[in-house]
Structure 1
Amino acid sequence: MNDALPAADAPHLHAIEALYSGHHSWLYATLRKKLGNAMDAADLTQDTFTRILASRISVIDQPRAYLSCVAKGILVNWYQRKALERAYLDALAVLPAPEAPSPETRYLILETLHEIDAMLDALPPLVKRAFLLSQIGGLKYDDIAGQLGVSLITVKRYMKQAFVQCLMLVE
């Protein structure tokens, strides 16, 4: 154990260490079976334990249920990311060769799309929906208010919240 860590971290680190040593193989095997890919399963297993480590939780009554729940959330995000990548690559496939971006540009665009997707996922559902209706659907704020069943001022507040989140992405 690292002596530089505060004593308050010790229970948390011991709990995570026990969780990892006792259940890593099980979680990896579960994800590998679900994904059919050892590398992705290893990455998602590690991401699961990293998220738990960051959560600061010290007591886990039902470790496998907890691991399954956390891993499921990470897996859903992973599937969304893969779907986003496929949609982007499918859109690129129909471009004439001279208009297709370079591999470096493709990578940068994909990374930006992932950051935007993560930013949108951090928004409350109605804020996210209002933002997407405006920016992708092209709806006016009045129409969004009617569709969401909220006031115009609420839509403006939602949009401000979404734009502030977007600004945090570029900083």
Structure 2
Amino acid sequence: MRRLLLISLIATALAGAGCGDDGGEEPGATACFDYSRFDGASPAVSFRADVLPLFQRSCAFSSTCHGAEAGSAGFAYLGPGIGTEATDEQIAEIGSQNVGVPSRAPAGMPRIAAGDPANSFLMHKVDHTLTCPDLECAPDRCEAPMPFGGKILPAAERDTIRRWIAQGAELN
């Protein structure tokens, strides 16, 4: 009887792990981020101080990914490489290439929907939730999760990006 109870507890714990509090899953997972438990209003997030450094470290570290202002093979610009201070023009270019702009993949949502991280393709990419039913593209057509070939960003970093979007994706 104890063994059955132990097996039941382990199975319940494993089943709940797919909807964990960190809001993201490993590549190939089918669970989507639970926005019903997410506070996007607090703390306040600054693009320059909080989000841009995350992009620079994990997205814009080379011109072959998201570090070229002109874009590279259709990839959106997410800022200059790490250690380089972004100019006002570069910040404006990040906004013009991403906020309200359709994604390259046929996702059925913009790259970044200001005020709406749940409908921002960028969040699916960084959360590694490309199999969520709210995406129009099939997982193999949604392209790769980001950062490409790297580990999923820690939940706190993904939540910083999520809060920035929820707070209007301002380029402050």
Q: Which TM-score band applies after superposition, normalised by the shorter structure?
A: under 0.3
Looking at secondary structure, tell me which structure has more helix per residue: 1
TM-score by length of 1: 0.23
TM-score normalised to the size of structure 2?
0.23
Name which structure has the greater RCO, CA cutoff 8 Å, separation 6+: 2
